[in-house]
Structure 1
Amino acid sequence: MPPASRRLSAASLRHADTIRFVLFEARPAGLTFPQLLRASELTPSQARAGLAHLRDTITERGWPPLIWTKKDGYRFCSDPAELQAYELVVIREKLTEIRRFISAVVAPHAALQPKGRWIRHLHTQFTSVESTLDVIAEYIDT
């Protein structure tokens, strides 16, 4: 469920509708961010708010998933193979982010406060997330 602040914003809803309309018109091709700005006549911050709102409401509205690739930009996609490839890329990015966060912040914090309840809990939770994403990435590769 989207955060209440984003869900209640009439402006982000209008921007999301504009972006949805522009992307449905461009189908099956996608639009890079600059192309999306030109086609929608939105500012960069309006487009980002609209994209965020669109991602928050896509499922409840029954629209196809919104993906972004370097080659095609933003586009709606229904092809299972393309969706799986996109999901794998995102999972690997998140896995890298989490690993870097653990090694650069959580582990040094744990070394400074080895008996700290908060840091032990945080380390356990992030290690669990890391393991889960790693399993998903390995499963998708097979």
Structure 2
Amino acid sequence: MPKPDRPRLARGGRTLSETVCGDRVYSALMEARPAGLPFKQLVVATQMSAHHTRKGLNYVKDVPALERKTPLIWTRKHGFQLSDNPSDWIAFEVEALSAELTHITRTTKRVFAPHAAARPDDAFAELALDYICGMKAGLTGIIAAGKNIR
């Protein structure tokens, strides 16, 4: 009986290591260059399940993208892409940081601000708000700089 934490392919019942999944994803994306591949097309191109394709994408983000100095980016228009263009990288990074800034801002308004208002003498709430304010300022500066570079 297979271990429940080991994914199995639908055909043949073989398990695939993250290295194998990553190599297939990386190869498919390199073949598609300079264009990208939407997720469904990437699944077809790699001949793997959606699970194994996601596993491969995570591996590519963690290992080959850094080793080969080619970041894995995603856009609505082109899907997943290994671009050589730094302006593509910056655009992706600005979008990712903007999403993080939105998340931090919403968490601050929904959790930390009410906490600090309910307990004005709470040292943790005060410290958290101070640090979060600094993080927000830093992210805002990086996002503005990235938009000016493009």
TM-score bucket (shorter structure)? 0.7 to 0.9
**Structure 2 unaligned residues grouped into runs of 5+:** 1-15
Q: 1:59 to 1:70 in 2, by over 3 A?
A: closer
5 Å-filtered alignment, 1:1-142, equals: 11-142=17-148
Match of 1:4 in 2: none
- CA distance in 1 between counterparts of 2:95 and 2:66 reads 24
Q: 1:53 to 1:113 in 2, by over 3 A?
A: farther
What is the DSSP-based 3-state SS (H/G/I as helix, E as strand, rest coil) of the residue aligned with 1:64?
coil
- CA distance in 2 between counterparts of 1:77 and 1:53 reads 17
Match of 2:9 in 1: none
The alignment's TM-score, normalised by the length of structure 2, stands at: 0.78
* Structure with more helix by fraction: 1
Deviation at 1:17, TM superposition (A): 1.3
- Aligned pair count? 133
What is the identity percentage for the equivalent residue pairs of Structure 1 and Structure 2? 30
Deviation at 1:49, TM superposition (A): 2.1
Structure with higher Rg: it is: 2
Displacement over 3 Å in runs of 4+: none
Deviation at 1:93, TM superposition (A): 1.6
- CA distance in 2 between counterparts of 1:36 and 1:59 reads 17
CA RMSD of aligned residues (A): 1.9
Match of 1:3 in 2: none
- CA distance in 1 between counterparts of 2:112 and 2:85 reads 38
- CA distance in 2 between counterparts of 1:117 and 1:11 reads 47
Choose 115-124 or 20-29, whichever is displaced more: 115-124
- CA distance in 2 between counterparts of 1:115 and 1:42 reads 55
